[in-house]
Structure 1
């Protein structure tokens, strides 16, 4: 069944309402917010598939990409990974925070659907897109865990907590998990860059330069942890710097073109 892109606003509002319901401050033992979260996540996926053109009547025109759909897809992946990791988000505070992020993600993607139609001129191009988006999701998940790691270490230093992370797991295990996502994202990003070069997308523009700088930052982080024993905030600073460079590489450039320059032209 092929769906019309006209359904995107309705899907976005339904997903936003479901996310809002999932963000309600109720007891952790209540199960219905988790059901709403799963429903919102499915509607979110359907909205992205139709809005980007992967599953719509105008798919032959190419895939619609832009800063908001990329951000929305990144948060969708973070929700998927985090839900699997913590068995459908049993920690109420994290569930509410991620659900509210889902509200912002679906509405932003509906308001700014993107103005660029990308056509796959090479058999490698779709895989390059998928790997690039997946690396965004893995690094975003690593950043989320890095923030929890920093907060847990701060509570430990101030004497307000035990050596337990925000997910209820030992702090060292949370740290290892954080950098497993970094390592996974690095591998996927490396493959995406190599496939991009093979598919003819290699151009020495700001997007390529920032992507390579982000790749080099994550490479330095991994080498520093293995050879120099970087831990704690020294390591998470490199994580945040690499993630910021990747964010600027595509999302930042598309934001300038879609919002800043288009308004200036108007």
Structure 2
């Protein structure tokens, strides 16, 4: 869910999570394999506790930074699971740095309190949307790993991915498919139940336009993959384009409102 908190407990948990993320990000070589892995697990647990503290408070908050924070936590959850299946999987320091940045942003920009009169279905709608963000985020990470592995393979070098190239490709598109399903559900709910969720009819604002454009991009990617066998660089470029459009849809619009314009939506 797109929730955060400015409560003392969430603040302390966030600071601890950011510090724990910074350890493997900055000192991976000094910590060693076991130390870096334990530090990342600790950071992930503290990050999750911070998000839980935000959900349990009386006035949950939401905004662009909490959205990025939850997305980062979901991506790291996927990484943690895959790390157990593929012990040689790398890029730990990159994900740790992203996790630290996401936590700090959520502490600095905790968002706006969720209106007390909001329907109980709104958190579910937001949860669907942010889950789609997380799945597409995982797809982007796997696509980046796949691209790096392909480049190294062409140069007859060790791919250093820790995961077979075909497995990376399959996982990338599985995450895209799952994210597409959740994004579709989010858009359908927004169109059909906008008055219930937000107290107003559906309208073609910045968020809606970019959300639909991202949906069309991901639909084209999956269709091209199924009908024309898209893969490699071409498929990755389309994935990146869809991810950027999706990022602009919610995070971009909320950032403009909260930071650039300095007002609540």
* Mapped pair 1:5 → 2:4: no
- 2:84 partner SS: coil
Aligned to 1:167: 162
Where in structure 2 are there 5+ consecutive unaligned residues? none
- 2:56 partner SS: coil
Aligned to 2:132: 135
RMSD: 2.4
8 Å Cα contact 1:124-1:198 kept in structure 2: no
- 1:109 partner SS: helix
8 Å Cα contact 1:139-1:185 kept in structure 2: yes
Aligned to 1:194: 188
Report the alpha carbon displacement of residue 158 of structure 1 after superposing the two structures with TM. Answer: 2.7
* Mapped pair 1:110 → 2:107: yes
Within 5 Å, which residues of 2 pair with 1:91-106?
91=88, 93-106=90-103
Aligned to 1:181: 175
Q: Per-residue displacement from partner, 1:77-128 (whole Å, max 9, x unpaired)?
A: 0000111012188447511111121111111110111135355744432221
Where in structure 1 are there 5+ consecutive unaligned residues? none
Aligned to 1:236: 236
TM-score (norm: length of structure 2): 0.86
8 Å Cα contact 2:13-2:46 kept in structure 1: yes
Moved more, 211-220 or 23-32: 23-32
- 2:91 partner SS: helix
Moved more, 42-51 or 147-156: 42-51
Report the alpha carbon displacement of residue 253 of structure 1 after superposing the two structures with TM. Answer: 0.7
Aligned to 2:43: 40
Report the alpha carbon displacement of residue 181 of structure 1 after superposing the two structures with TM. Answer: 0.5
- 2:61 partner SS: strand
Report the alpha carbon displacement of residue 208 of structure 1 after superposing the two structures with TM. Answer: 0.7
Q: Per-residue displacement from partner, 1:38-60 (whole Å, max 9, x unpaired)?
A: 22112112222334xx211x33x
Report the alpha carbon displacement of residue 145 of structure 1 after superposing the two structures with TM. Answer: 0.6
Over 3 Å counting, the alpha-carbon distance change for 1:109 and 1:25 in structure 2 is same
Aligned length, in residue pairs:
252
TM-score (norm: length of structure 1): 0.86
8 Å Cα contact 1:83-1:89 kept in structure 2: no
Aligned to 1:216: 216
Over 3 Å counting, the alpha-carbon distance change for 1:262 and 1:4 in structure 2 is closer
